[in-house]
Structure 1
Amino acid sequence: MSLASLDTPAALIDVARMTRNIERMQRRLDALGVRFRPHVKTTKCGQVVRAQITAGAQGITVSTLKEAEQFFAMGISDIVYAVGMVPSKLKQALALRRRGCGLKIVADSLYCANAIAAFGREHGETFEVWIEVDVDGHRSGIPPEDDLLIAVGRALADCGMTLGGVLAHAGSSYEYNTHADLVRIAEQERERTVRAAERLRAAGLPCPVVSIGSTPTALSAERLEGVTEVRAGVYVMFDLVMHNVGVCETSDIALSVLTTVIGHQEEKGWAIVDAGWMAMSRDRGTQRQPHDFGYGLVCSEDGEPLGDYVMSSANQEHGIVSRAGATDRDIAARFPIGTRLRILPNHACATGAQHPEYHALNEDGSVETWPRFYGW
């Protein structure tokens, strides 16, 4: 296949950009002396994950047990399910472990820890459990100084489960856009997670793994003493949110959506394309940032940004391309019907999730089809 042969809309991966992104992250974490466990929820694609492992990644992070099942079937067994475990999913986790998957699960409450321990004893299974630590109030986890941390650790260890370590995610890093702030948040993530590990060890509990990570902090941390591994996901594709955060250029964004101009509203300065929110997703992550790209940044078919043109609005199967801050009444001449464009996404994870496959564009112009999967 070639780019010209693809129907639109289509999700494209620029393989050269993806490869540079993978190598950049791996080099950085190798230099900082920690193992790297990429989060595969961004792409859910075997070809991408194999490239990450070939570059030096050790194990993977997943956000659904479906991901764990799919990647275990591809031969990857060192897997962390980085979402709080609920009792109803323990049978699914048990089945994976019984088939030989080294699945690690996560707890951040006594209820969860007790349920895991009870289920493990009932089925003769020693689950490896990591405790999630809250380092920034972003989402879930136990604050490192909370006595609950020790109580959860004891509930697991005293009942025969393996206390594998602690895990944190500085999700608040997405809210910043200066290097100084990102360095500060990265150090906060490191210091608080290491502190949680130290408290567990001081209480006589094991804590071999200290796992942290987000794309902004992984690319900004200046030191990682006490950390054993880092997790990050969206770095492999990058997106406009990460561009606004300040950790990539638009020329680093490896995922785009190929679309075709199908009409115009010239008096409004609109070109209508065949990629709506079903192709781009409804994610408007840049709306809360200093530079709002609407539903995505418009590029030529060969991937070069076209100035201030964005996908300013979207219906289910229609997108509206316009010039930000101005009305271009020459838009029909600029983008005639049949013109093919690429749209860089706000959030690579959300846009990827709209498509059953990626079209991987190689440097020689050839295109391969890489399947991705859905579900839980």
Structure 2
Amino acid sequence: MLEKKDISLERCVLIGVITQEQDEVKSKEYLDELEFLTYTAGGETIKRFTQKMEMPNPKTFLGTGKLDDVRQFIESNDIGTAIFDDELSASQQRNIGEILQCKVLDRTNLILDIFAQRAQTSYARTQVELAQCEYLLPRLRGMWTHLERQKGGIGMRGPGETEIETDRRIVRDKIALLKKKIEVIDKQQAVQRGNRGKMVRVALVGYTNVGKSTLMNTISKSKVFAENKLFATLDTTVRKVVIQNLPFLLSDTVGFIRKLPTQLVDSFKSTLDEVREADLLLHVVDISHPNFEDHIASVNKILGEIHCADKATIMVFNKIDAYEAEPFDETDLIAIRTKAHYSLSEWKKTWMNKIGNNALFISATNKENLEDFKARVYQEVRDIHVTRFPYNEFLYPDYDYDNMGEEE
């Protein structure tokens, strides 16, 4: 199921809707993100289509008129793929495909495709394949319509298993097999985590492409793959970091995203286990992104779903070197000053001020304010460490901390 992708860019159109729950501004933000996802997957966005509607059409997602506009554009511009910002049902995907006569993907399908490209280890590939199978199962009818035909005639009537049902059974068996495989690896991962002893565990969490891997490389002097694309890192990486002779384990986890497919939340359980078992979370935020507050909310929502919202957390506002406030004309009497015009010093006086010393502002790329970052992390890790080892810190200053845990 996991195949190498052609490096040539596919010509794509993006499609979204504007509803009461998702206004025009929010729709544009989601389509901006969808375009970045498309680029990450190897596609080129040629045009965007949006339609205002109370709710998506249950049969074709869009209205018939708008869908006809999309079809005409696809036919006249050699478009190979139509990508929808929301998850499509099996029947919607089938109906739209019959009208547009091109490949039809939804946001979930696109994210799964990126994960398939990015998965490096056997475990990550197994997790992605499980998510793909769970996504594929209810859509077999639309994707494999040629398997529905049953032969008729003498001797062919009566009960029997259709080819589509055979395929469904094969996929269900595959899902069961993959789940057993993941269960075995999860047990191995749990043993590995147990073998790390009682070392303090720190996990980097945050939205995708906020600079977690770059920060990991900077403070642990490792070479975790980092790239300016979404989901550059899929496999959890754990490194032993030492600050002022105090060792702790630092894990780099897969990035979160809005509208994260439930299949991925379920299949990437081990990555989330790293977050669950962490003593301290470093919530990394790309402050240069115009929608960074929405990103924070999305990450906090997922942390709440996996029961990690109450963990000790330090907010790390990264990419301060790239932050630029929108210019504001003080002489314009009509213009309204918004958050987009805030400077970094003004942001620090907002809700961020309530976080106090748990809000850090750094640039992992340019290594700005990293000493302050290390000092704050050291203080938090030391407090946890002294609580866990109340005697070693003072009675045994020569204790060999370096052999308390293993690097992964």
How high is the TM-score relative to the length of structure 1? 0.31
- Rg (Cα) greater in structure: 2
Which has the larger share of strand? 1
Name which structure has the greater RCO, CA cutoff 8 Å, separation 6+.
Answer: 1
Which has the larger share of helix? 2
How high is the TM-score relative to the length of structure 2? 0.29
